[in-house]
Structure 1
Amino acid sequence: MFYLPISNLFLMKFKAIVADIDGTITCEKRELHLEAVKKIRTLKLPFVLATGNILCYARTASRLIGLEGAVIAENGGAVAVRFDLQGTYEESMEECEKAYSFLSQYFNLTKLDPHYRKTEIALRRDFDLEKARSLLKTLNLDVEMVDTKYAIHIKSKKVNKGVGLKKLANMMGLKARDFVAIGDSANDVEMFEVSGFGIAVGNGDEIIKEAADYVTEATYGDGAIEAIEFLEEKGWI
């Protein structure tokens, strides 16, 4: 499905692609989709990975695919532009910890990767999220809870993949609008909003499909391949 007005079709030439990892360039069981990896390796423009996972995970995936190490991690809270440079982190953990301590009075919460996360808290998806969100509204904290289908994240409302993309694009000498964004989940919406063009893979959440300019018929890594081939056919990359 393609939603962009015809009047804009001849105005685009993008300089980079940013893509979510899990559910977007993976198989259904979360392994890297090898055909998608092969397709990504044929590209002549920068390909950035954006994930809710930790920075070292994003950098490892970037290395395995054969990319240059430009990544957005922790839902925009951590970014790195190359393998040989340190990542940068948002200062947003204090309020997340307050929210976690409060919610721990009501739920048996399990943190994921607590020794590696620097800007947010990720939790196992084994508690009532809507009840937790309602309880959190009673506090005066600038945080939110986001379900990425792999974990529930307590994160600052000021931090998201769109913020991370703007920051990383500037580090790369680009603008966020120079990027095509590919994703599958609610935490990709802000990335779509700031990018020049957003593509949702077929297995994506309804919210990301609504935010997309194009939705692939194929799912998971096959959808990412379809997305790239669509861009190539249009001459936009």
Structure 2
Amino acid sequence: MFKAEAIAVDIDGTLTNRKRALNCNAVEALRKVEVPVILATGNISCFARAAAKLIGVSDIVICENGGVVRFEYDGEDIVLGDKRKCIKALEILEKHFDFELLDFEYRKSEICLRRNFDIEEAKKLVEGMGVKIVDSGFAYHITDAEVSKGRALLYVAEKLGIDPRGFAVIGDSENDVEMFKVAGFGIAVANADENLKEVADLVTPSPDGDGVVEALQFLGLIEQ
């Protein structure tokens, strides 16, 4: 059995359902875990930090799909991505699509958009601009091509003095793939994107938060 030194877990679609309701069984289970638990999300820093407090896990959060990291609740955001690249890409895309921006003023490393346009066509239009467009399942994100949850996890692991292969990670969507690749063990919940399931070491029988509980039980971090 894999022995996890730390856990990284996604929020939307993993700890929550499609209506973004937090699974209380998963919250209760995570509070019993004795190794560090880090939230890794496409959400902004203030949301992630509030969620961490509410759930009762570590103050360390990976936000904006890896573009921002924070180690202390009252600390400073560490920005790992270049939002200027994303703005240049947006200026190109605005000539072809009508957008609805989400949390633009609060995002420090990326641009978040409503899922109401052809993402594959958009990807072609910004090819070679040093950005990528990621589907979190809840929104589209224009991010610096150098940014991912995986790279942020490597950054966090180094700062904590933990081998990234000592992390077990739990997620549901495309933006979790790189995190699965750098961690020691990746668990996809049942409702996960098929691309994520392909790189996962385990797929849980149940979706979202109930799947998180099953993942923690499999890892031996909580009792059956």
TM over 0.5: yes
User: Measured at CA, do residues 233 and 133 of structure 1 come closer, stay the same or move farther in structure 2, by a change above 3 Å?
Assistant: closer
For the 8 Å contact 1:81–1:171, the answer to whether it is kept is no
- Supply the distance in 2 between the matched residues of 1:91 and 1:47 (Cα, whole angstroms): 23
Q: How does 1:130-209 map to 2 (within 5 A)?
A: 130-137=120-127, 140-209=128-197
Contact 2:69 2:80 in 1 (8 A): no
Q: Using the TM superposition, give the Cα deviation of residue 13 of structure 1 relative to its aligned residue in structure 2, in angstroms.
A: 2.2
Q: 2:38 aligns with which of 39, 42, 48?
A: 48
1:77 equivalent in alignment to 2:63: no
Question: Mapping of 1:1-237 within 5 angstroms?
Answer: 9=1, 12-137=2-127, 140-232=128-220
Letter of the 1:204 partner, please give it: A
The DSSP-based 3-state class of the residue aligned with 2:90 is helix
Q: CA deviation at 1:174?
A: 1.2
**Contact 1:81-1:172 within 8 A present in 2 as well:** no
Larger radius of gyration: 1
Compute the RMSD of aligned alpha carbons: 1.5
Structure 1: gaps spanning 5 or more residues: 1-8
Query: SS at 1:115's partner residue?
Result: helix
User: Deviations along 1:147-171, whole A, 9 cap, x unmatched?
Assistant: 1111101111110000010111122
Shift of residue 31 of structure 1?
A: 1.1
What are the ranges of 5 or more consecutive residues in structure 2 without an aligned counterpart?
none
Runs of 4+ aligned structure 1 residues displaced above 4 Å come to: none
Which TM-score applies when normalising by structure 2?
0.95
Compute the displacement of 1:28 (Å).
3.2
Cα deviation, 1:93-115, whole Å, max 9, x if unaligned, reads 11110000110011111111011
Shift of 1:202: 0.3
Q: How many residues align?
A: 223
> What is the TM-score with the length of structure 1 in the denominator?
0.90
* Closer, same or farther: CA 166–29 of 1 in aligned 2, 3 Å: same
Q: Give the distance between the partners of 1:119 and 1:229, measured in 2 at CA.
A: 35
Per-residue CA deviation, residues 115-171 of structure 1 (Å, 9 max, x unaligned), is 11000101111111122122223xx31111111111101111110000010111122
Q: Which amino acid aligns with 2:82?
A: S
Give % identity.
47
Aligned residue number for residue 5 of structure 1: none
Please give the alpha-carbon distance, in whole angstroms, between the structure 2 residues aligned to 1:129 and 1:91: 21
Report what 1:6 is aligned to. Answer: none
What secondary structure, in the 3-state scheme, does the structure 2 residue paired with 1:30 have? coil
